[in-house]
Amino acid sequence: MSDYVEWIQEILTALGYDPGPVDGVNGEKTDAAIRLFQKENDLAVDGQVGELTHSALLLAHSMVDLKLDQDGKLVLKDFTPDEFTCECGCGLDICDRLKAFAQRLRDQFGWPLVISSGARCPTVNEAVGGVPDSCHLTGHAFDAYFPGQMNEEVINQMADYAISQEIGVIRYPNQLFCHFQIPLRNEIIY
Ligand SMILES: [Zn+2]
Ligand SMILES: [Zn+2]
């Protein structure tokens, strides 16, 4: 019996696969469910949860329970669509995976989360002093903080949660916010 197998079984169940009972035992049904998941996600079908399958499971799980509106846009419980778009009104948006992460981060801490910067077109990125290759430019980053709650400990907890979800993070302890991004990254900038 293993906690890791149990975790895999929980995710597979949530995703609608049938790994059998969540008992931490990698039996026939769990093996079949892992293989089916791998097949449907274009992964090597070997029944082993290596790095790629692990990431695919996390990604698929982060998209579970999310609602789409009639235009196929993600509907979040605590955020309006314009909270993540470029501030100039050009319509540039961040990716769904990061939006879903923002909602989970909010749920995890239970506090309102302010998105201080989402997607940025080149004009806006330059105006706010963003680096030329910023992930904000492609909609793969957002900056956020919990008003009135921020300190170094909370920043570290936010970063730990991001890493656990395979989301990259840059901590800004002096400015009391975190930058979240895809791809993975883990840095502190003072
Ligand atoms: Zn813009
Ligand atoms: Zn940022």
Q: Where are the domains of the chain?
A: 3-62, 67-188
Instruction: Over range 96-120, report the average pLDDT.
Output: 94
Measured in Å, residue 146 CA sits from the centre of ligand 1 at 24
Can you give the pLDDT at residue 181?
97
Q: Is the pLDDT of residue 114 over 90?
A: yes
Token pair listed for 150? 């921020």
Closest ligand to Cα 181: 2
Q: Give the pLDDT of residue 58.
A: 83
Expressed in angstroms, the distance from the first to the final Cα of the chain is 43
For residue 54, the Cα-to-chain-centroid distance in whole angstroms is: 14
Contact at 8 Å (CB) between 34 and 47? yes
Given this model, what pLDDT does residue 61 score? 80
- As a whole number, mean pLDDT of residues 99-116 equals 94
Q: Exposed, middle or buried by CB within 10 Å (0-12, 13-18, 19+), for 33?
A: buried
Query: How many angstroms does the Cα of residue 95 sit away from the middle of ligand 2?
Result: 14
pLDDT value for 128: 96
Contact 14, 64 (CB under 8 A): yes
Contact status, residue 93 vs residue 119, Cβ threshold 8 Å: yes
Question: What CATH architecture is 3-62?
Answer: Orthogonal Bundle (1.10)
103 within 8 A of 81, measured Cβ to Cβ: no
pLDDT tens digit sequence for 57-81 = 888 887 766 677 777 677 888 999 8
Ligand 2 centre distance from Cα of residue 41 (Å) = 30
Question: What's the confidence (pLDDT) of residue 119?
Answer: 98
Beta bridge partners of residue 188, listed in sequence order = 171
Mean local confidence (pLDDT), 139-151? 98
What are the pLDDT digits (tens) for 3-25?
889 989 988 988 889 999 999 99
Model confidence at 97, in pLDDT bands (50, 70, 90)?
confident
Instruction: Give the global pTM.
Output: 0.71
- Point out the ligand nearest to the CA of residue 125: 1
Mean pLDDT of the chain: 92
CA quadruple 91, 93, 96, 99: dihedral sign: negative
**Ligand closest to the CA atom of residue 130:** 2
* Residues 164/170, Cβ–Cβ less than 8 Å: no
Six token digits for residue 154 = 């909370």
pLDDT score, position 65: 64
117 pLDDT more than 90: yes
| pLDDT above 90 as % of the chain | 74
Least confident of 143-147, 149-153, 162-166, 179-183: 162-166
Residue 159: is its pLDDT beyond 80? yes
Supply 180's token pair: 């979240």
CATH fold match for the domains 3-62 and 67-188: no
Q: Does domain 67-188 have CATH number 3.30.1380.10?
A: yes
Checking 68-73 for CB contacts under 8 A at 24+ apart, the result is none
